[in-house]
Amino acid sequence: MKQTQRPRPKKEALFVRIASTDDSVEFHDVSSFIGKPMPFKNPRATLAMRVTDASVAFSLLHLTKRAASGLVAKDVEFPRGPLARLERRISEMELASPLAVDHLLVDINGETQTYTLVRDSNGVIELVGEDGAVELPKSALQITIAFRSPNVKQPIIVGFIGHVGKPETTETVRRAAAMVLFSISQLAQFRVITDVETVKVPSAPRSVARPARKIDERAGIILPTWLYTSDLAPTLVAQGTVGVEIDLETANPATGRLLMQLTPSDDLIAFFDQYRTSIEHAVTQKLRGFLGDDEIKLITVDIVMGAIEGGTVERLRNALETCAVGFDATPTQVRDHIPA
């Protein structure tokens, strides 16, 4: 019997994750070191990517100290076997039932769970659906996650091997999958392909949910806003306000970007979608100008670790005050408001 020819790779890459000095994580491309000694002494994870016309596959391996030592002791290898298995699995899934953009499948312990993939305007995703429990093994846990991105035509599949919690304890499938996706979202290429900025990880089983932040614990501002056409002689479309609030619960330190929620007033809401990106970019630039990239990165790490303090909230409020005059905005450009 003639075997089906496997799709030819359009791109292959291998990355290694290491810890940085500020407790964030960084992926480094080591594709040029394949067949050569590992360039890093203490790798935390490896991540292989292969793109074909049929799929985009990622193989993520979280390393124990012993596994990291073994990896460093030999030449760098590209994990073609695990990627080939992932490609066969996504082909089977697509034949059975093509994946939809708003659904995500999780294979774990021989069972498949289906979740709705909810995505907000910042590209923050959340898995929604009935949850199941999984007993974490002594050895590494294996998870396969499949979904479809609005950015590419191929389905995406992620294979994970590693630990997501203390062995022989109970975890939820949804939380385990979210932790895997959060880990891989530190890679810029994954974020571009999937349109995922970061992932909301559910609270641990039996943990107490964090209470909602009080007004004086939040960083927000109401901005007067004027929306104009993009014509050479712009005309006013609508005038109102935009509420801007920094997300102090969710962040991705790898991007060095603070996430925010924009809420237009009723006067602007019918037109706002085409202006959202330019206004968000303008606010981001104001924050960067006031805080600087280094401080923003430290704040995103604090957000991920749940360590935001009152002084940091006050700094964010002061940064937002640099926008207080309001904006004149077109769909592509924004400037500080100039009174008529």
- pLDDT given for residue 306 in this prediction: 79
Residue 132 included in any domain: yes
| CA 227 to chain centroid | 30
> Cβ distance 212 to 253 under 8 Å?
no
Whether 18 and 156 map to the same domain: the answer is: yes
pLDDT tens sequence across 175-234: 999 999 999 999 999 999 999 999 999 877 665 455 566 666 789 999 999 999 998 889
Residue 5 included in any domain: no
Domain count for the chain, please give it: 2
Q: Which helix (H) or strand (E) holds 236?
A: strand 236-246
Whether 53 and 149 map to the same domain: the answer is: yes
pLDDT tens sequence across 128-179: 998 888 888 888 899 999 999 999 999 999 999 999 888 888 889 999 999 9
Whether 232 and 320 map to the same domain: the answer is: yes
What the block records as the tokens of 165 is: 């919690």
Q: How confident is the model at residue 26 (pLDDT cuts 50, 70, 90)?
A: confident
Task: Using alpha carbons only, give the angle 196, 282, 304 rounded to the nearest 5 degrees.
Answer: 40
Q: How far is CA 226 from CA 233, 246, 272, 279, in A?
A: 15, 21, 11, 11
> Cβ distance 280 to 243 under 8 Å?
no
Most confident among 14-28, 111-125, 316-330 (mean pLDDT): 316-330
User: Does the pLDDT value for residue 20 go beyond 80?
Assistant: no
* Averaged pLDDT score across all residues of the chain: 89
Whether 116 and 67 map to the same domain: the answer is: yes
pTM of the predicted protein model? 0.77
pLDDT tens sequence across 40-96: 988 999 999 999 999 999 999 999 888 999 999 999 999 999 999 999 999 999 988
User: Does the pLDDT value for residue 2 go beyond 60?
Assistant: no
Whether 166 and 234 map to the same domain: the answer is: no
Q: Is 277 left (phi over 0), alpha (psi -120 to 50) or beta?
A: alpha
| CA 335 to chain centroid | 29
How far is it, in rounded angstroms, from Cα 150 to Cα 187?
18
Whether 125 and 246 map to the same domain: the answer is: no
Of 310, 329, 309, the C-alpha closest to 264 is 329
User: Does the pLDDT value for residue 3 go beyond 60?
Assistant: no
Residue 205 included in any domain: no
Of the two residues 306 and 129, the one the predictor is more confident about is 129
Structural domain for 242, as ranges: 216-336
Please name the amino acid found at residue 89: R
What the block records as the tokens of 270 is: 């019918």
Residue 207 included in any domain: no
